[in-house]
Amino acid sequence: MNAGATAQKHLKNKKKAAQTASAKSRVEPTGPLYATRPDVMRVADDIAERRDLDRDWVRQAIGQAHYMPAVARAVTPPSAGTAKNWTVYRSRFIDPVRIRAGVQFWQANRETLERAERETGVPAAIIVGVVGVETIYGQQTGNYRVIDALTTLAFDFPAVHPKATARAAFFLSELEAYLSLTQRTSTDPMALRGSYAGAMGMPQFMPSSWSKYAVDFDGDSRVDLFNSPADVIGSVANYFKSFHWQRDMPTHYPVRLTADGADKAALLAPDILPTFTPAAFAAQGAELDGAALQHAGPLALVELQNGDAPPLYLAGTENFYAITRYNWSSYYALSVIELGQEIAAVLPK
């Protein structure tokens, strides 16, 4: 048995054990059924009409969903004044457990990762980093019924959230996408489990992302993001390609803000959207060197707070921005990048 086959067998055994543990820790619904809410049932009828779905099927699916207090709590923002801390955030995702599992995943799927990189330009390290940060390569894919999570967030998103209305609308659209997906694939909408936000499978795709970006990369004529590493790899790569990943472009460069001349407010005004040329970057007091000075595209100043310690600053490229389209957080993006780098550094050649 070759190294890849041995690693694949080891991964399957670990995944089976993880699925058994996950089944034992499933979060079962406890709150009231949404079938008791006339306002929800009216929306169900509207979804059925707009999505061309069977009205009774939609009413039954949404009506069987339960309000989940734990889901509502999970999306409630932290109290005001809670400081972000990159060092603490990083330690949650870049640890020996993920690195070891990442090496095994890479070895077991080396040829598929190479094919995805060849076809899309997305480096294997980025793909491996995403799957590791999201679910530790399928070990933690979520314990909530997706129908419960999405329905709770669509109709009872916590009002204390500063963007509650917009977020509720987003999750209503994801609920619609989920119903369309399960109907199209003849899947029981009550059967799938995912995160408290309704993300599913090894790469934690939201339902709309599954419909838009997931691909059949193993050639079996179906897309399986729960059990097919090939489909997971191809789909993550396709996601980034769809968000304009640029082959061979670095994700970021070191940057230093001059003590007396840096206009940090101006540099941070576009958030993490790449806006400045290297020359404009330097004119605002952000010092670059080496390859960064020759970068052909726009850059963004990325600030990662470190609690009471000084922040970390990076010059983010369009590829860094592409990673934040997967999860709108610069902390997430740098964790993906650095986990992939750590794994690549210890990967047997």
What does the pLDDT average to over 134-155? 97
Q: Looking at per-residue confidence, does 22 or 284 come out higher?
A: 284
pLDDT of amino acid 185: 94
Rounded CA separation 304/313 (Å): 6
pLDDT of amino acid 349: 79
Q: What percent of the chain has pLDDT over 90?
A: 82
Tokens for 6?
Answer: 């041995």
pLDDT of amino acid 161: 86
Tokens for 66?
Answer: 């339960």
Which of 49, 111, 134, 174 is labelled catalytic? Answer: 134
Average per-residue pLDDT for the chain: 91
The lowest-confidence range among 1-15, 76-90, 142-156, 303-317 is 1-15
Catalytic status, residue 134: yes
pLDDT of amino acid 236: 98
CA distances, 212 to each of 40, 181, 240, 284 (Å):
26, 11, 12, 39
Q: Is 271 left (phi over 0), alpha (psi -120 to 50) or beta?
A: left
Rounded CA separation 205/211 (Å): 9
- For the cut 50, the answer to whether the pLDDT of residue 21 exceeds it is no
Tokens for 81?
Answer: 């004044």
Q: Looking at per-residue confidence, does 22 or 115 come out higher?
A: 115
pLDDT of amino acid 25: 65
pLDDT of amino acid 223: 96
Q: Find the distance separating the first CA and the last CA of the chain, reported in whole Å.
A: 18
DSSP H helices, the chain, are 3-24, 38-50, 55-63, 69-74, 86-93, 96-108, 110-120, 124-135, 146-155, 164-184, 207-213, 229-242, 264-268, 278-283, 318-324, 330-346
Q: For the segment 23-70, what is each residue's pLDDT rounded down to a tens digit?
A: 556 777 778 999 999 999 999 999 999 999 999 999 999 999 999 999
pLDDT of amino acid 152: 97
Q: What is the pTM of this model?
A: 0.90
Domains and CATH numbers, the chain: 7-81+138-201 (1.10.8.350), 252-316 (no CATH)
Per-residue pLDDT band at 162 (split at 50, 70, 90): confident
Helix (H) or strand (E) holding 309: strand 309-316
- For the cut 90, the answer to whether the pLDDT of residue 5 exceeds it is no
Per-residue pLDDT band at 81 (split at 50, 70, 90): low
What does the pLDDT average to over 123-152? 97
Rounded CA separation 210/181 (Å): 8
The lowest-confidence range among 5-19, 36-50, 98-112, 201-215 is 5-19
- For the cut 50, the answer to whether the pLDDT of residue 1 exceeds it is no
